[in-house]
Structure 1
Amino acid sequence: MSVTTILFVASCIRLAPGDDRRDGGSVDATQQVPDTGVADSGAGCPAERPEERIAAATTISSDTTWDCAHDWILDGDVLVTGGTLTVEPGTRVRAADGAMLLVAKGARLVAEGTRAAPIVFGPSTEPAAPGQWRGIVLLGAAPTGLNSTTSRVPDTLDAGDARGAFGGNVADHDCGSLRYVRVEFAGDSDAAGNVVDQPAAGLTLAGCGTRTRVDHVQVHRSSDGLGLVGGRFAASHLVITAPRFDGIEWGAGYTGFIQFAIVQTFPDATAALKGSRREGQPVPPAGEPEANPTLYNVTLVGARGTGPDGGANGTEVGVALQYGSLGSVHTSLVQGFEGYWANVLDAETAARVPMFGIRDSVFVDAPASTTRGQFPGADEDGDEGMDESAYFRMATAGNRFPGAALMRNAYALPGTEPDFTAGLAVIADEPFDDGPSEWASDYVEADYRGAIPPVGETPGARDALDWTLGWTRYPAD
């Protein structure tokens, strides 16, 4: 393909609504990023800001605003039980070790930054590590697969505390809006890297309904990245980088929609995408939702031998489904996993074929060092003989296996900025489906696979097309 052709194709690719790469500016893809991700200044925010400390066990019960004139320090758990907590563009919120920001189902969190002035939630102590603070938990009253209005995210509030409950019958429940937000070094894990409390995710949404908005959100170096517990809402432009365990995990009846998401796994992580119920949890009662999200234009990046021991024969998986969880992944790009590209982990899930699937996606770059292969065969793992390799390679699935790596620098470890863009090639090959009809108002037509439009080799194309630039950061600690 000539340079002229590449330039034409790149210039015609549609930018997703809400993407402000049109407003100029550029980022050097090779630059070293700051050691911390809380140094942004924008929207008229001062570079030096006095600290405003929020005492442990503070309850916010009416409309409250945190502005960028201060650094907001959470000395312990902060609960929002009523009204709306508004966090303005460029604001930095820093939490003490183990602290949590929990927004109950009678309240909302509105944190809407901009590309030039993202909102950053991170730890107040350095150096930082995954699980340094508990993260953000949003609770809603939308239906879940738990058939309860009093379900709770474990180990958030005591069982008798009604403020910790989620679930209900309000399908359009509004947990708030997150836009151009970064959550860093959150979740919960001990020094050995084992999850000791839930939520393990840096950002957890439980029982949030269709009016909830999540757009341009990065969760970096957390125990798990994004936890979706029941509810139903659309999310887009997600960047989950270097999680200790799972990237995006869903369960308990989450039936939402995700488009344009990137998950870059940490060496020896568990899975980039994981559908799960708690082991032994029953299938939801008749009429109650079960976990079955729809995902389009996802880029999943394995660690590909970047661990201290080279990562050979590692365990990270691109897509993992277990305990009967469902989910469908379309027009996506899966590259460089030391374990499997995709794996069905048990007989309960295997029995539900063909209720889940990966369709019209590209799988590349399974390392030659691995002894596991690209998909497990019929004689591997505990799924009662399901042959994932045959299933995901069926001609009707429309998946492609070009062999060579497509992304430029997707494996960069924390401390340097990765480049998740790719050339045209198979990513832009026809045909494409028409998208999910039930999410027609949220689905954005995209004539490419993966989360970012292909940029080819055209100078400057990345600046115009890569929606991750300008607001994400990748600190090591």
Structure 2
Amino acid sequence: MSAEPAALEPCARADKPVVELSGEIEHSARLTCDKVYRLRFVTFVRPGATLTIDPGTTIVGDRDTRGTLVVQPGAKLVAEGTRERPIVFTSEARPGARRAGDWGGLIILGKAPTNLRDAEGRPMIGRVEGIADGGEYGGDDPEDSSGALRFVRVEYSGTELGPNNEINGVTFAGVGRGTQVDHVQVRHTADDCFEFFGGTVDARHLICQDPGDDGFDWDLGYTGRLQFLLLRDGAEALDTTAGLEGDNDPGGSGNTPRSAPTIFNATLCGRGHGAEHEHYGMLLRRGTAATIGNAVVVGFEAPLDLRDRGTAVDLSGGLWLARNFAAPLAHAEVAGGELALADDDFGLDEAALLTRAGARVEDPDLPGCADPAGLNRYKPRAPLAAGAAAPPADGFFAAEARFAGAFRDESDDWDAGWAVWADAPEDV
């Protein structure tokens, strides 16, 4: 007699038991895919503990208590899914009723350096807004490990903690480069998809869909490396937003380490139409530095805006810009101008900067940037190789990715099997 299918595949059952996940995880624990876990209140993984999540496991965020998972410095989250069985953090609401902001999000805290300083200029510990006790982060170990995130989706997160204070889809605060981050998608979040507060963590293969604010945001001395980023921004926002947004720190100080990420192979798709608030492909401010190469920027108000004294960017080639409706390269800023037209960078000419870097105002033919019908529509028919730069051969970057954008061509399948673009037409 053959066994029942449910006995053979407990992780595929539709009637999995629901287990509450809340409070403090003080000893190592494992979440398995034969159960659904309801994340309630702010749940902490305490120092010394490792929370392991098996492939195919689903964690649903509780709406009423703003369920949020916080991994403290000295703790680890090992969430390693597979292409066939990704790990999914999502809303507890049924498909069709899920909304951005249904639950909190994923907050990972580490012991890597930030540029936070006290009044005497001494390094100080950071604190995540909205977490009254237990949100401290930062230290002096750039190699610190907070675990691993692989083949993970985070959906409908970003609950509001207070006015202008929402949790991001995934927050990395003081996270070190010993942490492994690869193949992570954030969908429908009320704030940024990915935020980096200081730290040195590297990441590859990140997808951001419909953030309430920015796609990829850094601050407080972030110096990590990012490669293969995809953003589709279709959500309206309440303030200035950007595909990439970076600051050295909120005060624009010269504190070190200076924010200076290195980013290669990004496809940034904006909303494609005007809005009340400014919308940039790349917005660099408050003294940050950055190295950016092989980027495709489509459908924003303008591709690039630099602000404030000391802000600098190394544009390393492979820049394709198209259908940026207010300015094909950048706004022509003038002294005494208003908003986007004001000279807020002490005479820097972003358009000239892009021209010197060989930026091409040429349509890369990515229909998904205008109509998000599926991931394959974000892949060019042939590699966008003209003018592309070779990423650094430093052991992290895929140095052979000498093409613009997150995907080489239609055969590039790093998104296959684990990433999704729509689960129910009513979900927003």
Structure-2 residue corresponding to 1:67: 32
SS at match of 1:390: helix
- Aligned AA (2:43): V
**Does residue 1:409 correspond to 2:372, yes or no?**
no
Q: Using the alignment, how far apart are the partners of 2:127 and 2:348 within structure 1?
A: 34
Q: CA deviation at 1:410?
A: 2.9
Deviation per CA, 1:135-175: give whole Å up to 9, x if none.
0000000111114452111112x2xx3x3211111121101
CA 1:301–1:400 in structure 2 vs 1: closer, same or farther (change >3 Å)? same
Q: Using the alignment, how far apart are the partners of 2:99 and 2:199 within structure 1?
A: 30
- Percent of counterpart pairs with the same letter? 30
Pairing partner for 1:208 from 175, 182, 202? 175
Pairing partner for 2:392 from 424, 427, 436? 436
Q: CA deviation at 1:416?
A: 5.7
Q: CA deviation at 1:371?
A: 4.0
**Does residue 1:142 correspond to 2:89, yes or no?**
no
CA 1:299–1:186 in structure 2 vs 1: closer, same or farther (change >3 Å)? same
Structure-1 residue corresponding to 2:333: 378
Matches within 5 A, 1:23-38: none
Kept in 2: contact 1:453–1:466 (CA 8 A): no
SS at match of 2:420: coil
Normalised to the residue count of structure 1, the TM-score between the two structures is 0.77
- Aligned AA (2:234): F
Q: Using the alignment, how far apart are the partners of 1:128 and 1:195 within structure 2?
A: 22
Matches within 5 A, 1:77-476: 77-81=42-46, 82-97=48-63, 98-126=66-94, 127-147=97-117, 148-156=123-131, 158=132, 161=133, 163-189=134-160, 196-199=164-167, 201-222=168-189, 223-269=191-237, 270-280=241-251, 282-284=253-255, 288-305=256-273, 311=274, 315-337=278-300, 339-344=301-306, 346-348=307-309, 351-352=310-311, 355-367=312-324, 370-379=325-334, 380-381=341-342, 382-394=344-356, 397-402=357-362, 404-413=363-372, 419-424=377-382, 427-429=384-386, 432-433=389-390, 435-436=391-392, 439-455=394-410, 462=411, 465-475=412-422, 476=427
- Runs of 5+ consecutive residues of structure 1 not aligned to the other structure: 1-41, 306-310, 456-461
CA 1:431–1:66 in structure 2 vs 1: closer, same or farther (change >3 Å)? closer
- Aligned AA (1:341): P
SS at match of 1:237: strand
Deviation per CA, 1:5-56: give whole Å up to 9, x if none.
xxxxxxxxxxxxxxxxxxxxxxxxxxxxxxxxxxxxx986223243333254
SS at match of 2:144: coil
SS at match of 1:121: strand
CA 1:133–1:452 in structure 2 vs 1: closer, same or farther (change >3 Å)? same
- Runs of 5+ consecutive residues of structure 2 not aligned to the other structure: 1-7, 118-122, 335-340
Normalised to the residue count of structure 2, the TM-score between the two structures is 0.86
- Aligned AA (1:470): G
Q: CA deviation at 1:61?
A: 0.8
Kept in 1: contact 2:219–2:250 (CA 8 A): no
- Aligned AA (1:327): A
Q: Using the alignment, how far apart are the partners of 1:44 and 1:116 within structure 2?
A: 15
Higher RCO (CA-CA < 8 Å; seq separation 6+): 1
Structure-1 residue corresponding to 2:5: none
Q: Using the alignment, how far apart are the partners of 1:185 and 1:378 within structure 2?
A: 37
Kept in 1: contact 2:116–2:126 (CA 8 A): yes
Kept in 2: contact 1:319–1:343 (CA 8 A): yes
SS at match of 1:389: helix
SS at match of 1:181: strand
- Aligned AA (1:180): F
Q: Using the alignment, how far apart are the partners of 2:205 and 2:21 within structure 1?
A: 33
Coordinate RMSD, CA, aligned:
2.4
Q: Using the alignment, how far apart are the partners of 1:255 and 1:329 within structure 2?
A: 13
SS at match of 2:289: coil
Kept in 1: contact 2:294–2:388 (CA 8 A): no
Q: Using the alignment, how far apart are the partners of 1:290 and 1:197 within structure 2?
A: 24
Q: Using the alignment, how far apart are the partners of 1:229 and 1:428 within structure 2?
A: 33
Kept in 1: contact 2:155–2:187 (CA 8 A): yes
Deviation per CA, 1:322-378: give whole Å up to 9, x if none.
1112211111211121x111111x332xx44xx4132212333225xx444431123
Tell me which stretches of 4 or more aligned residues in structure 1 moved more than 6 Å. Answer: none
- Aligned AA (1:130): A
Q: Using the alignment, how far apart are the partners of 2:137 and 2:420 within structure 1?
A: 32
Q: CA deviation at 1:277?
A: 4.5
